[in-house]
Amino acid sequence: MLFLSLLSRVAVGGVLIAMPVTVWAQATPTDPSTELSLDAEGRADASPDTFTATLFAQATSASLSTAQGTLNTMVDRAMTTAKGHPGIDVTRAEYEASQNTDKPAHWVAQQTIRIRSTGQKDDGKVVLETVAALQAQGLGVSGLDWSISPEHRDALVATARLNAIHALQAQARAAAEALGLHVVRFKTVNLATSGGFRPQVMMAARFASPQSTPQTQDVQVTASGTAILAP
């Protein structure tokens, strides 16, 4: 406790009189807290739940209109066949037509069809069965890939973030205990997502019998922060 002696001047009858005044003030103690910087990681993994097959139909003719007509017939038939299989989503994609000037000159028309599984735990069996049926109709396969649906991906990222935060808290508590202190709060916390969900791409030759098995994918979140420790 600090004691301070001051002189206070008061006017009495037009005359200034100096009067001693004693006041006291509480001293501000030194902040005993400690700042501790920490880093931790959180992970979450899952098997891909969406299987996509990319196929193409192709027709050639000396006449562009004939090539287009043949292609349209192939694609219409393929779409009808694919839509007869439950649990998949079928879409027409890119279309292109080009002229080949090699003798004899001819036109090539081509269109892409994509087939995607829609079940949350689909193993790709229905997609592969559909692919086999379309290959029998003359379509080629340009790609097969497993991926994680956006809904599933968001849930995994959220889980990885929580795991990273919990790991950061555990490190702070362990460090505080070793130092004979306790965690007051976190001054700062930063989260960064790394890794990711890259589609597992597999190429399939035309008229091949494609097979595919999903592999587990994971996401990693790094948490860094500053914890305030005190006695």
Structure tokens at 53: 């097959």
| Preceding omega of 48 cis (within 30 degrees of 0) | no
C-alpha to C-alpha distance for 140 and 132, rounded to whole angstroms: 10
* Amino acid at the residue 137: Q
Instruction: Measure the CA–CA gap between 222 and 157, rounded to whole angstroms.
Output: 11
Q: What is the radius of gyration, based on Cα positions, of the chain?
A: 36
- Give the separation between CA 97 and CA 134, rounded to whole angstroms: 21
**Alpha-carbon distances, residue 123 vs 46, 183, 214 (angstroms):** 13, 47, 8
Mean pLDDT, the chain cut into blocks of 10 residues (231 residues total): 39 42 44 87 86 93 92 94 87 91 88 84 77 93 86 88 94 92 93 66 44 73 92 92
The pLDDT of residue 212 is 55
Place of tokens 């097969």: 144
| Buried-exposed string 186-200: b where 16+ CB fall within 10 A, e elsewhere | beeeebeeeeebeeb
Domain ranges of the chain: 34-46+151-203+216-230, 50-147
The CA distance from 152 to 31, in Å, is: 46
Q: What CATH class has 50-147?
A: alpha beta
Task: Tell me the pTM.
Answer: 0.59
Domains 34-46+151-203+216-230 and 50-147 belong to one CATH topology: no
Contacts of 28 (CB under 8 A, 6+ apart): none
Task: Say if residues 168 and 206 touch (Cβ distance below 8 Å).
Answer: no
- In this prediction, residue 17 carries a pLDDT of 42
What kind of fold does domain 34-46+151-203+216-230 have according to CATH?
Answer: Translation Initiation Factor IF3 (3.30.110)
Q: What pLDDT score was predicted for residue 66? A: 93
Instruction: Label residue 101 left, alpha or beta by phi (over 0 means left) and psi (-120 to 50 means alpha).
Output: alpha
